[in-house]
Amino acid sequence: MMITLARAAGVPARIASVYALGVEPQDFHAVAEIFLGGEWHLVDATGMAEEGAMAKIGVGRDAADVSFLTVFGTAVMNGQSVKVAAA
């Protein structure tokens, strides 16, 4: 919604997939990236993460551009482990 409203107001915006400190479970988290003052800013509309606590994984026009997996046919998840820590 934030991306749509920003674009409607004439502000460039895109979706970003991030890892963020404090988000549970630690997995991909979708946030808006808004272009203001000559630079892109990550904005989490959920309030779960602050800009400085996010590691950007990918950006795009919509969720299809930043999907971390596309599967055709049968797929089985064998396991997953993600750990995000402050530097």
pLDDT digits (tens, 9 = 90+) for 55-73: 898 999 988 888 877 889 9
What are 50's two structure tokens?
């602050």
pTM of the full predicted structure?
0.76
Question: For 2-14, what is each residue's pLDDT tens digit?
Answer: 999 999 999 999 9
The burial of 59, by beta-carbon neighbours within 10 Å (0-12 exposed, 13-18 middle, 19 or more buried), is given as: middle
Angstrom distances, CA of residue 83 to CA of 21, 33, 51, 72, 75: 9, 23, 18, 28, 24
